[in-house]
Amino acid sequence: MDLEKFKVHGEPLIYGAMISIALATIGIIVGLTVFKKWGYLWREWLTTVDHKRIGVMYILAALLMLFRGGIDAIMMRLQTAAPDMKFLDAQHYNEVFTTHGLIMILFMAMPFIIGLMNVIIPLQIGARDVAFPRLNAVSFWLFFFGAMLLNISFVIGGSPDAGWSAYFPLASIEFSPTVGNNYYSLALQISGIGTLITGINFIVTILKMRAPGMKLMKMPMFTWSVLITNIIIVFAFPVLTVALALMMFDRLFGSQFFTMANGGMDMLWANLFWVWGHPEVYIVVLPAFGIYSEIIATFSKKNLYGYTSMVFSMLIISLLSFLVWAHHFYTMGQGVMVNSFFSITTMAIAVPTGVKIFNWLFTLRKGRITFTTPMLYTLAFIPIFTIGGVTGVMLAMASADYQYHNTMFLVAHFHYVLIPGAVFAVIAGFHYWFPKVFGFRLNERLGKHAFWWIIISFNVTFFPLFLLGLMGMTRRMYTYSEETGFGPLNMLSFAGALGLAIGFVILVYNIYWSTRYEPRDTTGDPWDARTLEWATNSPIPAYNFAVVPKVQTRDALWSAKQDNIPLFTEEITKIHMPSNTGKPFILGVVFFFFGFFLVFSMWIPAIVAGVGIILVMAAMSFDRDHGFYIPAKEVIATEKKLRGETV
Amino acid sequence: MKIDASKPLEYATEENSNKIFGFWVFLGAEIPLFATLFTVYLVMVDRFASGPSGKEIFEIGPVLIETFLLLSSSFTIGLAIHAMRHGYKKAMMVFMGITLLMGLAFIGIEITEFFTYVHEGATLQTSGFLSSLFVLLGTHGAHVSFGFLWGSVIMYQIWRQGINPATANKAFIFSLFWHFLDVVWIFIFSFVYLKGLM
């Protein structure tokens, strides 16, 4: 057994990371033991099948990953802040930009969105849970252990270093001989399977479990966006599954898919990756559109302008998202006809997106707007995202793209799209739905402080990158000489990155502060909102709704409040609930070891773990637990307690 | 659990009907998965470098037997579900057993085929064409193998618990899976073997 390959040498930063990981692990274990919380952790969280708790765990993991990816970002900005910096070497810089991209998209933006989806969707459609609560737990634990597998790569064996797009031949065993890209293929595979299961689960939930009366065209816009997103997931993720499997075969078993000799084809990887990769962008952006639609309608006190056109524009976007992938590599020689086709389809996406922007603006028009924190993020999103969109159209022109391709202009463009189009949205959604889950709002004053830090620093960080790109600075270069003149703008960008960090620290501090001091909300509807999730108590009881609501209009709660249409007409009866199970967690752990052993080509342990996976799945099949009932009396008591009445 | 007696057992509860719909969505995801593998294969089919081409290694004999086995097993799983609908536990077990045995025979022949290819010097590492061939066939074969294990677990549960809404639901979903593998095989037979032999 060669222990040498597990070690990562030479970098004081990595030794620091090792020590901090070890200390954090010891701290968590000691803390749990001292406060006797192991049982609580196992019973209430690790074995839960409750969509709200699973959602909260997704969001917690996403926040952790936000800081991990954020530290990567600050290290990159520091390394390029001045000419000839010696903070990171080339190899370490490669690893940092690779994991930054992977973590921010796959382990921050996606789980944050899936977390909000988990918490809100069953409530918005008036359901008691998702269609398959146990599978939902499987999804979470596969995502979680996939993310963990990628994170340990940093200290055991080395991180992937061929960019988040891992182009071949660079990512092949020949040019990337460390285990880094093995981690890439296996960590993404494991969490990707989890995402695919989420996709199936939510399609069934939304199509089959809506409250009586909620026709498809009466669904809230966030629910629509999530439905369309999950359809994209179900069609796009299998392509990633195959691409990653082929990558694994190439790297571990010497197959010839993406090699340079023996009939391999490196461009096949680029095509497969982006056939998944471009729809992936819409997987994170469409739910964001849904979140913004909810927030704009609520805080303008108007119903959403152009509901039908909103739905159809999302459907068109989802269709087009599969027809634009080659615009990621116009310069790689596929010829004029192909480039023209993808140029046109790419520009066509601007049309439905523009429709949505105008619908939001018309919703705001003559509305009674209140400037709460979630609304501020939404209002900032519109102009900033438009800059991202317009520069996207510039990049979409194949002939012009030869100038911009792989420059910092591109980097600036996708940060201008993804940060307002996903990060601002999840932060806005986080502030908006926080009182629903925890029963109190986040402090508005601190929230607005964080908002201004984030919004200003964002532009200070990324606007200079447009200019740097036009000046000729390519992406992914770890340093440059003074004569290039890139120095001052990069320094400005670094200052902005620090400002962003401050903003996010205030945001997290706000959670702590509000937990301690913010007054509790007993109404369940602190924003005077419009959709069903606000019709139940906050914090939400385990069964969501004591009585399943009856829906007649689009903004069901709003019409209930305005026109006195009763939502809950039936008597409270006993409620069926799924029971908790530890098997999804165990499955995640076994998958983690399976992936880890494969990364290091340890065949016998990998086979044992593989058999373990099949055994856990068989054990799940033999489960004959059909859940339990909460008696009506208990439901009535809980309802009274949550409304602040004495029993 | 509310049981709706007007529907077949496998659809009788809301959970059951959700599971069947969910499995259709899963099969919807299997289509892009296999479509991607077929695309990779068709891109790679002429890239056999210094290794053998399809024409040189494919033999129609074993492939015809594989096809016969898998198509017949799709018919017998249909008979098993038919027996299940009538509540004939024994007939259902027999037909399901025949299905799984034919699946097992299919896997056996496929493995023999793989050994023959490797023996002739056509390995996963030889060329882009052979890599894509082995992975396409292997993915289908892995599905059949998984189906064999899964089907065995379900047969055991029916043997122990009899035909009830839960087991009927599992058996029905398994039959969907098995039919799907048959459909994929028809594409493999046409686009890999027949096209390769022409």
B7–chain A nearest CA distance, Å = 17
Structure tokens at A599: 């990364």
pLDDT at position A254 is: 93
Q: How far is Cα B167 from Cα A621, in angstroms, rounded to an integer?
A: 10
Contact state of A255 with B170 under an 8 Å Cβ cutoff: no
> Does residue A243 sit at the B interface (CB-CB below 8 Å)?
yes
Enclosing domain of residue A109: 48-520
Cα B30 from chain centre: 12
Q: Are A58 and A130 in contact (CB under 8 A)?
A: no
Q: Are A618 and A576 in contact (CB under 8 A)?
A: no
Count of C-beta atoms within a 10 Å radius of residue A363: 20
Helix (H) or strand (E) segment spanning residue B111: helix B89-119
CA-CA-CA-CA torsion sign (A575, A576, A581, A583): negative
Contact state of B132 with A257 under an 8 Å Cβ cutoff: yes
pLDDT at position A527 is: 93
The answer to whether residue A638 sits within a structural domain is no
Q: What is the pLDDT of residues A149-176, one digit of tens each?
A: 999 998 888 899 999 999 999 999 999 9
The answer to whether residue B153 sits within a structural domain is yes
Render each residue's pLDDT in chain B as its tens digit; 198 residues. 577 778 888 888 888 999 999 999 999 999 999 999 999 999 999 999 889 999 999 999 999 999 999 999 999 999 999 999 999 999 999 999 999 999 999 999 999 999 999 999 999 999 999 999 999 999 999 999 999 999 999 999 999 999 999 999 999 999 999 999 999 999 999 999 999 998
Nearest Cα to B158, choosing from B88, B103, B105, B99? B88
CA-CA-CA-CA torsion sign (A394, A395, A400, A406): positive
Contact state of A200 with B25 under an 8 Å Cβ cutoff: yes
> Does residue A237 sit at the B interface (CB-CB below 8 Å)?
yes
Q: What is the pLDDT of residues A563-606, one digit of tens each?
A: 888 888 888 889 999 999 999 999 999 999 999 999 999 999 99
The answer to whether residue B120 sits within a structural domain is yes
Cα Rg of chain A, angstroms:
25
Q: How far is Cα A470 from Cα A480, in angstroms, rounded to an integer?
A: 16
> Does residue B127 sit at the A interface (CB-CB below 8 Å)?
yes
> Does residue B135 sit at the A interface (CB-CB below 8 Å)?
yes
Contact state of A249 with B28 under an 8 Å Cβ cutoff: no
- Looking at residue A232, which CATH number applies to its domain? 1.20.210.10
Mutation target to probe the B interface, by most B beta carbons within 10 A, among A255, A257, A611 is A255
Tell me the ipTM for this assembly.
0.95
The answer to whether residue A32 sits within a structural domain is no
Q: How far is Cα A229 from Cα A223, in angstroms, rounded to an integer?
A: 10
Nearest Cα to A598, choosing from A251, A130, A256? A251
Q: How far is Cα B65 from Cα B62, in angstroms, rounded to an integer?
A: 5
A254–chain B nearest CA distance, Å = 6
> Does residue B128 sit at the A interface (CB-CB below 8 Å)?
yes
The answer to whether residue B97 sits within a structural domain is yes
Nearest by CB to residue B33, choosing from A242, A614, A621, is A242
The answer to whether residue A160 sits within a structural domain is yes
> Does residue A199 sit at the B interface (CB-CB below 8 Å)?
yes
Average pLDDT over residues A537-552: 90
pLDDT of residue A1 exceeding 60, the answer is no
Q: What is the pLDDT of residues A177-235, one digit of tens each?
A: 999 999 999 999 999 999 999 999 999 999 999 999 999 999 999 999 999 999 999 99
Q: How far is Cα A507 from Cα A499, in angstroms, rounded to an integer?
A: 12
> Does residue B40 sit at the A interface (CB-CB below 8 Å)?
yes
Enclosing domain of residue B105: 65-197
Contact state of B131 with A207 under an 8 Å Cβ cutoff: no
Select the more confidently predicted residue: A300 or A154.
A300
Average pLDDT over residues A433-452: 95
List the single residue in A with minimal CA-CA distance to B33.
A238
Q: What is the pLDDT of residues A404-422, one digit of tens each?
A: 999 999 999 999 999 999 9
pLDDT of residue A121 exceeding 60, the answer is yes
Helix (H) or strand (E) segment spanning residue B123: none
Tell me the chain A residues in contact with residue B18 when contact means C-beta distances shorter than 8 Å: 131-132, 204, 208-209
Q: Please report, for residues A88, A613, B11, B164, the alpha-carbon distance to residue B172 in angstroms, rounded to integers and kept in the order given.
A: 58, 24, 9, 12
- Burial status of residue A88 (CB atoms within 10 A of its CB: 0-12, 13-18, 19 or more): buried
Q: Are A284 and A105 in contact (CB under 8 A)?
A: yes
Q: How far is Cα B56 from Cα A631, in angstroms, rounded to an integer?
A: 70
Structure tokens at B28: 């919807």
- Three-state DSSP at A4 gives helix
Nearest by CB to residue B125, choosing from A207, A255, A624, is A255
Select the more confidently predicted residue: A616 or B9.
A616
Average per-residue pLDDT for chain A: 92
* Interacting residues of A290 by C-beta distance below 8 A, sequence separation 6+: A221, A222, A223, A224, A225, A226
Contact state of B36 with A132 under an 8 Å Cβ cutoff: no
The answer to whether residue A386 sits within a structural domain is yes
pLDDT of residue A614 exceeding 70, the answer is yes
Q: What is the pLDDT of residues A57-74, one digit of tens each?
A: 999 999 999 999 999 999
pLDDT at position A384 is: 96
Q: What values do phi and psi take at B127, rounded to 5?
A: -155, 165
- Burial status of residue A474 (CB atoms within 10 A of its CB: 0-12, 13-18, 19 or more): middle
The answer to whether residue B82 sits within a structural domain is yes
- Three-state DSSP at B121 gives coil
- Three-state DSSP at A274 gives helix
Contact state of A132 with B134 under an 8 Å Cβ cutoff: no
Tell me the chain A residues in contact with residue B21 when contact means C-beta distances shorter than 8 Å: 204, 207-208
The answer to whether residue A558 sits within a structural domain is no
Residues in chain B: 198
| First-residue to last-residue Cα distance in chain B | 56
> Does residue A255 sit at the B interface (CB-CB below 8 Å)?
yes
Tell me the chain B residues in contact with residue A578 when contact means C-beta distances shorter than 8 Å: none
Q: What domain count does chain A have?
A: 1
Rounded to the nearest 10 degrees, what angle do helices A180-208 and A90-102 cross at?
10
Q: What is the pLDDT of residues A513-526, one digit of tens each?
A: 999 999 988 888 99
> Does residue A334 sit at the B interface (CB-CB below 8 Å)?
no
Q: Please report, for residues A625, B27, B107, B166, the alpha-carbon distance to residue B158 in angstroms, rounded to integers and kept in the order given.
A: 17, 24, 24, 10
The answer to whether residue A181 sits within a structural domain is yes
> Does residue B25 sit at the A interface (CB-CB below 8 Å)?
yes
pLDDT at position A646 is: 59
CA-CA-CA-CA torsion sign (A613, A619, A621, A625): negative
Nearest by CB to residue B124, choosing from A207, A253, A576, is A253
Q: pLDDT band at residue A2, thresholds of 50, 70 and 90?
A: low
Q: Please report, for residues A143, A210, A437, the alpha-carbon distance to residue A119 in angstroms, rounded to integers and kept in the order given.
A: 17, 15, 8
Nearest by CB to residue A263, choosing from B17, B129, B134, is B129
Contact state of A262 with B128 under an 8 Å Cβ cutoff: yes
Mutation target to probe the B interface, by most B beta carbons within 10 A, among A200, A237, A577 is A200
Q: How far is Cα A410 from Cα A331, in angstroms, rounded to an integer?
A: 14
B173–chain A nearest CA distance, Å = 13
> Does residue A624 sit at the B interface (CB-CB below 8 Å)?
yes
Q: What is the pLDDT of residues A11-61, one digit of tens each?
A: 777 777 778 778 888 888 888 888 888 888 888 899 999 999 999 999 999
Q: How far is Cα A620 from Cα A584, in angstroms, rounded to an integer?
A: 9
Q: What is the DSSP string of A475-539?
A: TT-----GGG--HHHHHHHHHHHHHHHHHHHHHHHHHHHHHHHSPB--SS-TT---SGGGGS-SS
Q: What domain count does chain B have?
A: 1
Nearest by CB to residue B1, choosing from A132, A263, A626, is A626
> Does residue B26 sit at the A interface (CB-CB below 8 Å)?
yes
Phi-psi region of A531 (alpha: psi -120 to 50; beta: other; left: phi over 0): beta
Instruction: Give A 9-68 residues with CB within 8 A of chain B.
Output: none
Q: Are A568 and A547 in contact (CB under 8 A)?
A: yes
The answer to whether residue B100 sits within a structural domain is yes
Q: What percent of chain A has pLDDT over 70?
A: 99
Nearest Cα to A83, choosing from A487, A461, A476, A408? A487
Tell me the chain A residues in contact with residue B33 when contact means C-beta distances shorter than 8 Å: 238-239, 241-242
Kindly state the DSSP code that residue A217 receives in the 8-state scheme: G
Contact state of B36 with A243 under an 8 Å Cβ cutoff: yes
Interface A:B, Cβ pairs < 8 A: 115
pTM beyond 0.90: the answer is yes
Q: How far is Cα B41 from Cα B44, in angstroms, rounded to an integer?
A: 5
- Rounded to 5°, angle at Cα B186 from B180 and B189: 140
Tell me the chain A residues in contact with residue B48 when contact means C-beta distances shorter than 8 Å: 263
Contact state of A256 with B36 under an 8 Å Cβ cutoff: no
Q: How far is Cα A527 from Cα A370, in angstroms, rounded to an integer?
A: 10
Average pLDDT over residues A256-276: 94
Paired residues of A474 in beta bridges: A407
Q: Are A610 and B159 in contact (CB under 8 A)?
A: no
